[in-house]
Amino acid sequence: MSDESGDRNDRHARQVLFPAVGPAGQARIRAARVAVVGCGALGTVASEILVRAGVGTLTIVDRDIVELSNLQRQSLFTERDAAERREKAVAAAEALRAVDSSVDIRPLVKDLVPENALRVLGGHDLLLDATDNFAARLLINDAAFSLGVPWIYGAAVGDEGAIGVFRPGVTPCLRCFLEALPPPGSTPTCDTAGVLGPVTHLVAALEASEALRLVATGRSMSGIARVSLWGDDGPSVRTSLSSAAAWPECPTCMRRIFPSLAGEGAEFARSLCGRDSVQLVPERPRHVDLDAVAARLANAGSVTRAEESLTAVFADTAITLFSDGRAIVKGTLDPERGRSLFARYIGA
């Protein structure tokens, strides 16, 4: 046995002692390839749990940068990350490599969109949702069922959260549960209700627990579990099993049409939860020469350069431009206003 193997065995000894895992389960965890979509409150916590548990490969997909308001609940980031406006995926990967350098951690500073979803998520054994909107979750759902891999849904707002596990050929998909889930726009968001750090950590821990159980044993929960922390009677966990079978007309798991992969619900400009910001996405991916843009903007505002992005601060806004052409315009929730500010300072 190599020294590296011995170190790994010592590292995970307490987990291996748990009978449901054991040496065989730990080996399956080590061989697992997991993608986490979103690296905010849920994504940072779930990613750290998975890395500490010994998952072999972890891909982190996130489009955003670190801000000071993230530090209340997003456990992998520091004040330095926020001050330098680092890309979340890059900062998280650095922190996780310091936890376990033997894990293959792959940061992707990308927005998951219909055009790249299969390419980005393909080659993984399990997908974890750590996003903040239903359009993204339905895209993950369609990609997972197209690829034939399970995925785990997670959401948190205020003091409440939800988790569900969806397995192609075994369970219904997310679309089959839509009647049991709140429709987009009908419930509070982190903009209106805020969010407690403990509930995001709890939901992320449940997601990671189901991920490890599925990888190690092949078993998982069914239905959708909801949790609440600050009710009148204290914390509560309840499970919804309102859809015992797939919806017969489901386009995803019954008809295999995959509407989200075809562009249903895709948005090229949208407000970002809790950020007072708008994200702008080009119609076609493109490469941006960030150094050239930084030089052009140097006299117009304060420019901070990160690995795959730059942030320019002007009198009435801050604009973060990514190397793939995406931009986040801070200071407005109006997509048209965001487009206008981008055009004013960056151009077409």
**Residue type at 45 in one-letter notation:** V
Residue 318 CB burial class (10 angstroms; 0-12, 13-18, ≥19): buried
Q: What is the 3-state secondary structure (H, E, C) of 128-163?
A: EECCCCHHHHHHHHHHHHHHCCCEEEEEEEECEEEE
* C-alpha distance from residue 137 to each of 37, 112, 156, 172 (Å): 9, 10, 13, 15
Catalytic residue set:
190
Q: How far is CA 170 from CA 122, 129, 148, 251, in A?
A: 19, 19, 11, 16
Q: Cα separation of 151 and 170, whole Å?
A: 12
d(CA 83, CA 81): 6
Specify whether the CB–CB gap between 329 and 342 falls below 8 A. Answer: yes
Residue 24 neighbours by CB distance under 10 Å: 11
* Kind of pairing between the strands at 224-228 and 160-166: antiparallel
Give the span between the Cα atoms of 334 and 59, in whole angstroms. Answer: 32
CA distance 30 to 155: 27
How far does Cα 253 stand from its chain's mean position?
22
For residue 240, the SS3 value is strand
Element housing 104 (H / E) = strand 104-109
In DSSP terms, 14 is beta-bridged to none
Q: Can you list the alpha helix ranges (DSSP code H) found in the chain? A: 3-11, 13-17, 22-31, 41-53, 79-83, 88-99, 117-121, 134-147, 197-217, 290-297, 335-345
